[in-house]
């Protein structure tokens, strides 16, 4: 891209997030600097401030985008297919790989020290927890079961996170199919 190419505001924001996310996936938080992002995007330093308010704002925007890109949208699906879609989508190669893990780990490591990122994490996690809770409750209803969906959703999310971490660290030790099977086995006593 030529230096200082004019893009729409939406396209420039997307470009800056693309570059920042690629850096996080490649080299972790040390790649998340104004100079590296601006050089890779071919823009002046002021554009990050203009579009995100600060590097913390950019970090929070990247976090929200990564959540959207790696979390399946369950809302348009019938209740009986939402949990399977969640499990299959979470462990799909696009979301379930070393580069994505690198980005997540870099972002997670900044949550405690970056208020904007901590706030975005809380928003994203709450929305995800609400979606999983609703999906579990709907599935239980279709099966004629009564469950306490909120704690079950929290446990499932923790299991998914742990399985993703194990897979990304060593895909041979935790293949995607094994991770999917583990999630379904965890839910079976509650929903079958």
Tens digit of pLDDT for each residue in 78-96? Answer: 999 999 999 999 999 888 7
Let me know: does 86 contact 44? Beta carbons within 8 Å: no
Query: Model confidence at 5, in pLDDT bands (50, 70, 90)?
Result: low
Q: Domain check: are 32 and 121 in the same one?
A: no
Let me know: does 108 contact 47? Beta carbons within 8 Å: no
- Whether the full predicted model's pTM is greater than 0.75, yes or no, is yes
Q: Domain check: are 159 and 110 in the same one?
A: yes
Q: How many domains does the chain have?
A: 2
Let me know: does 64 contact 147? Beta carbons within 8 Å: no
Indicate whether 38 belongs to any domain.
yes
Which SS3 state, helix, strand or coil, does residue 99 take? Answer: helix
Indicate whether 94 belongs to any domain.
yes
Note down the domain range covering 94.
71-191
Q: Domain check: are 53 and 136 in the same one?
A: no
Measured CA distances, 63 to 165, 171, 172, 182 (Å): 17, 24, 28, 27
């Amino acid at each position: 891209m030529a230096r200082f190419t004019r893009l729409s505001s939406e396209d420039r924001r997307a470009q800056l997030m693309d570059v920042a996310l690629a850096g996080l996936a490649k080299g972790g938080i040390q790649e998340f600097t104004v100079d590296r992002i601006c050089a890779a995007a071919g823009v002046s330093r002021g554009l990050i401030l203009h579009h995100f308010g600060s590097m913390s704002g950019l970090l929070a925007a990247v976090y929200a985008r990564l959540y959207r890109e790696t979390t399946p949208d369950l809302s348009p699906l019938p209740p009986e297919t939402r949990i399977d879609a969640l499990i299959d989508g979470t462990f799909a190669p696009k979301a379930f790989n070393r580069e994505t893990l690198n980005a997540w780990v870099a972002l997670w490591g900044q949550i405690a020290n970056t208020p904007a990122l901590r706030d975005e994490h809380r928003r994203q996690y709450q929305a995800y927890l609400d979606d999983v809770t609703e999906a579990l409750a709907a599935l239980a209803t279709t099966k004629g079961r009564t469950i306490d969906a909120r704690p079950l959703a929290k446990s499932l999310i923790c299991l998914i996170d742990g399985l993703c971490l194990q897979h990304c660290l060593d895909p041979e030790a935790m293949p995607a199919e094994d991770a999917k099977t583990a999630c379904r086995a965890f839910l079976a006593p509650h929903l079958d």
